[in-house]
Amino acid sequence: MSESIPVGSFQGMKSLNKSAILNVVRQYGPISRAKIAKLTKLTPPTVTNLVGELIESHLVVESTLGESTGGRKPILLRINSSAFCVIGVYAGAKRVKAVTAHLDGKVVQQVEMKYSDNQTSEQFLLTLESAVEKVMQSTLPIQESFLGIGVGMHGLVDPEQGLSLFAPHLNLRHIPIKAALEKRFKLPVEVENDVRAQALGESWFGKGAGISNFICVHVGTGVGAGIIIDNKLYRGTSFTAGEIGHTTIDSNGPRCSCGNYGCLETMVGGAALARRAQQAIRYGKESMIEEWVAGDIEKIDGEMLCRAAKLGDPVAIEVLADTGRYLGIGLANLINTLNPALIILSGGVSRAEHFILKPLLKTLEKRTLTKPADAVTIAISELGENAIAIGGFTLVLNKLFTPAGLGDAVEII
Ligand SMILES: [Zn+2]
């Protein structure tokens, strides 16, 4: 498979000017060479030369879709989206999801695989590799040129070395994801924390498009955030920025896996919701969920609570309302600290709709300073089930189009 992969076309993008042009074509295409020169502040001959190289590498194509102003039809340039595919991988707590997509973010194929129990690092890497292999194979009849692989990995990640530092749900440390995948597939590989990857995906293809300062908050089994500041992913000094799941909401709260008490994750994570529902039922409150699990209340999960709330179950509604209030406290802290324009919610929490959102917004109203509260919008992600895998391949696109980060072309020259 590797013979058909033009690795060179990715490596060839090292020129900042070429990436700058590519990014302008992506953002403003179809666009003329003259307009590119104006936007990038490059000289027209330089633009012509570099555009020539981009056309040769099939990343850009000419089209005559532009409106004629009476004379010759202008020749416009656009990204040749379907000429290549990128691969995005989500390595979650229980499963791996791999997708292929064209350069415009349209998903072509997808594959999902479950881990076996008690995986070693080697077994985990084999699962990852076979998910990538499978999705590439199923894509081959449509597209055989791949530009790179991007992995959104849960837990702590060193994106510079492409290492998973700690994967809490697998209880594994120091997994050399980048090295293993590059060796196996001979393609450039990017690795990032799952929610940070999603934040990047949101900025390219989701609700964050065109917004310079926003935060993507994932609330599911775990709780985390990806922070975009001034169009760039903010990673922090040791790549742990966004670990809001471990900020304290109630110092007398339950003990967290990190050793602390009352972390946000212990109040709004999937296990917390189940725990509060179980408590209510043990105290004698009636709930339809008890029947659903045939009395085995240990089986209760967040998804059941969302379903029951929609059917009017009072225990489920109360548990979700509390979740909205606690999450509201967490988000108010974020808003007061970072003053974002937008917070995008994703994960299981998005299934709960207004049951969580209403009390959350009320809490924000009470706990956020007026100015940042007026400036922020709370939205639910629309990237769906593939959100993190989309984030994964966006890591590759981000490297290809804007080596200096997300910023627009004019800034990176
Ligand atoms: Zn914690």
What is the per-residue pLDDT across 90-136, written as a single tens digit (0 to 9) for each? 999 889 999 999 999 999 999 999 998 888 999 999 999 999 999 99
Domain that holds residue 373: 214-382
Q: Which residues surround ligand 1, an ion (CB under 5 A)?
A: 246, 256, 258, 260, 263
What is the per-residue pLDDT across 69-84, written as a single tens digit (0 to 9) for each? 666 677 899 999 999 9
% of the chain beyond a pLDDT of 90: 78
124 with 6, same domain?
no
Answer yes or no: is 406 within a domain: no
Ligand 1 center to 349 CA (angstroms): 19
Answer yes or no: is 412 within a domain: no
Length of the chain: 413
377 with 298, same domain?
yes
366 with 242, same domain?
yes
Across 5-14, 277-286, 367-376, least confident range: 5-14
Give long-range contacts, CB 8 A cutoff, 24+ apart: 34-40: 36/77, 39/409, 39/410, 40/409, 40/410, 40/413
Average pLDDT on 193-217 reads: 96
Answer yes or no: is 202 within a domain: no
Across 2-16, 206-220, 352-366, least confident range: 2-16
Nearest Cα neighbor of 216 from 235, 202, 236, 234 is: 202
- What CATH number has the domain bearing residue 130? 3.30.420.40
376 with 249, same domain?
yes
Answer yes or no: is 207 within a domain: no
Ligand 1 center to 240 CA (angstroms): 13
185 with 261, same domain?
no
Answer yes or no: is 409 within a domain: no
C-alpha span between 359 and 174 (Å, rounded): 40
Ligand 1 center to 353 CA (angstroms): 25
245 with 360, same domain?
yes
Structural domains of the chain, count = 3
Q: What is the mean pLDDT of the chain?
A: 90
Indicate if the pLDDT at residue 7 is higher than 90: no
Across 7-11, 124-128, 164-168, 287-291, least confident range: 7-11
Q: What is the pLDDT of residue 407?
A: 39
Residue 69's identity, in one-letter code, is T
Answer yes or no: is 413 within a domain: no
